[in-house]
Structure 1
Amino acid sequence: TALIQYSSNVEAKRAFSHLDKHIFKGQEISAAIITTQSNKEHRLIVRNLSFKLREKDIFSIFSKVGQVEEVVLPRKFVGGPLKGFAFVQMGNKDDAEKAVAEINGTKIMDRTVAVDFAIPKDKYDSMKDSINADEEKVAENSGAKDEAKNKDEKKFSPDIETTLFVKNIPFETEEDELYELFSEFGKIKYCRIVMDNKTFKSRGTAFVSFWEIDDFKNCYEKNLEAQKYVSSVANPNDSNSDAFKKGKKTDKAQMNSVLLTEAPKTLPSVGQTRCRDYEDNKFEDAQTARQKKHVLA
């Protein structure tokens, strides 16, 4: 056996990928990464973060002062809202100290962030009783004012009963844009864009979960109305369409009725595009709707 020490975890992981199960002089090499206590000295906690920030944003900010190995954004529950703070693992102690010196007290998205060395859990538990309650609250629930209203939420139905599977989303769409769009129907529990495991890019689909089943039903019913309208737009000469029968355009209220859909399977499935967006050509035009009609049917 042999112990090889690298200057950073990034280099260690790169070496591990090449060495583990590699055949050397007819023998298979077995390699493993050993996490040392010293690595914890490079770990930072960043408080009072905007809920719009994502891992890639924080990674970009801290990379300007040193090597970043990992960024973790804790959530209140899996797929739920962010807690408002993050953990950043720097490559070495010098970079960690530099990040604290240069980023602590600066503004990120109009919020003054606090950057400090993360306290190991065992030390935190021993100090917990002596920590000021307000400071502890900031550490665990930074930005609580923005999230306080969640405490007043009523009991909600199981996720499966209040969750929509959304398809045909533009690949550049962000989760906060989906949140704003679907908030038209009620309070949103979470919006999660499905990412490809290999490319880490959007697959053009997402899950949107409501707190209340009534809001969920309202959204789904409106989406059925939108599907009916889009069908009439895509086939204006169809004698069975409402537009042909009425001989007039659908009014603005109907155009605001929201989403495209397809027949539900395990979860009710909808397309993200609102009917009024056909006028703005924000996401898709009527021609695209015609092309997708057979897919959505």
Structure 2
Amino acid sequence: MAGLDHKEPRVHFSSTLFVRNLPYSTTDEVLQTVFSPYGKLRRAFVVKNKGESQCRGFGYVTYFKKDDAAKAKSHVKVISSRPVHMMFARHKEKEGEEEEEGEEQSNDDEEDDDNVFKSDSNVYDIGRTILITQLSDDTTNKQLRVRCRKIGNIESLEYPVPGKDELTASVTFKTHKEAKKALDTLQSRTLNGKTIKVDLLSKVIKRVNRKSLKKSRLIVRNISFKTTEDDLNELFSAHCPVISTQVVRNEKNKSLGYGFVQLESFVDAHKALKNLNETEFKGRKIRVDWVLPREKYQSQKEAKNEEEVKMETEETQQKEDEEEQEEEGTESLDEEEGDREEEEEEEEESMDEDVPVPKHVNDVKEGKTLFIRNVPYDVDKEDLASVFRQFGSIRYCRPVLDANTQKCKGSAFIQYKTIDSISTCIEAAKSDEGLWIGQDKLMVDMAVSKEELSHMKKAAKQQQLVEKDSRNLYLLEEGYIDPLSEAGQEMSKIDTRKRMKSLQERKVKLKNPHYFISKTRLSVRNLPASTTEKSLKSLILQHSDRQAIVKQVKLMRSKEQFLSDGLGRPVGFGFVEFKDHHSALTALRNLNNNPDIHGPDKRPIVEFALEDSRALKLMRKRQDKQKQKHYETDLTRGLTSDPSMKEHTNKRVEWQLKWKERRLRRKEAKKNKKEPVKSMREKKQLLKQTAWQEKMKKDRQDTQDKKRALVKREPESNRVLKYKKLLLKA
């Protein structure tokens, strides 16, 4: 770190404190004076820039003991009237540092894995190089050069390529287009009586992401000391492709009994772990497991050590309790007062001990243990026991302590010797006065076993999800099948792709807050082309409850391709809507991935359908309008007499009837309205128009009369012909 002037040997991270938000005037001496009262200091300094004397606002304090550092962290809050923040500093691991299980070599192995993929790319230019395989023994360098020169300019040609099992030639062209052209022209051609195979180097050498390599790395324990890297490669390559293997050895080049295997993908690693774990290899039962990061491995290791210490303390405490019970049984009933005094003394002694007294296995079943919450963090065991000793004799009192600070975490367990004291204590805690320690009111409940606590937590989480999750997001993965599970391995590759694709699409859609998952509507896909609405409904009812009610079945059809009956061709998916959620859930779980319906190759994909709240609002508005119109027509005709609907639509119907009456009155008024007085000029124009119209009518009438008179005089044949001509002219 920049600005560190002191370089001393590294200590355990929990004994060093990282102090932030320091005043810029703070010096090393100020830190030493503030933190020295809480223990012996190894060093204390503030971080400065190079060539400057001013503090950068943070520093480090290192104690000789871990407990002193925890004590200082809990007490020091302010330095020079400024609040400071502290945390335990983490040290950087040195390169090459060894651990018991060999996880320290993971970084070196990652570099080796990268070199595996970089080595070929350094020799060949990936985009411009082709590899020619399946060559005959008679093939020469000259023949290959002549063939490739006809396609494009060659930069280099190497034949045979060293390190390959079969005869291979590598040809590098000047451009990528020429290499691609060579791939198309030379593929499956015959050369010296054999058909050759051509591959572009970019398809052969695939770059692997470092993150994916970390996920596909396995550790193999309990292997024979004679096992080599080649033996591990043979063992794992029988199940999946292997990138690299390593057997961990000591300074004398002797095996330590474990190694690492790097595979191509997470799926391959999962398959190898499933098939090879707990199997015999060279006379030993090997254990295959995932490689853990260093921090996770160290935390697990410390947790195991703490559990072993707890187990030892539990055994010793159980023996002491049994001895105490035997001594209490031998005491006489006449000396009850003396017994009570002795019991109180024993309790006080047990409270003063440093070893925490654990709960018995059957504490919860006895019903004598209490769980106390809202306990102050700085409370002592004796102060807590003194509050509850007034209700009866206590068997033990145990505050829940933090592993690092050894301070109370805000809760505790207390066990009484009689059940009567439990009931009196709970009544006192729930009363108006309550139980207090200082200014904190204690909350007392009966202790619960771990199993019951896990069930209560799960139920609370589900209830929170149901209450808070208005979009029903907890139903997103209902119907999704993991490809690594037993049911997923039986599915075809097409079905797995469809399921993964649909899950991704649904996740993308649900980022929009207008979309939500319906509880009663299912989407059914992967259906055969011969499916109809009736067959889909019968299939749904067969695999659901007897009381299930299907509200709607909608089969999606094509708008371009049509059947003989005029309906569109089924696309292969549809929607089914139920009346309640329970019947929809049972139908989904019975139908989804069922091989007995359409065969094992085409299994139905059933999921809860996504809905758009905006589209639903528009649809409901349309439905309400249609209902309103239907009711209004029925009401006017006298077909309905629903009092609840009348209240909503009576005013509207009355208004419409009044409006119709007004329109009729206006029309009648226009007809009966007197014509206004016109001028002389307007009257003359009207007379001229009427006279001209009458004259035209008379002329038309005269012509028609003349034609009729002529037709009567002529014979019938001529009359018919002329009549037809007149009709045609007309």
TM over 0.5: no
TM-score by structure 1 length? 0.35
Q: Tell me the TM-score normalised to structure 2 length.
A: 0.15
- Bigger relative contact order, structure 1 or 2, given CA contacts below 8 A and separation 6+? 1
- Bigger proportion of residues as helix: 2
Bigger radius of gyration: 2
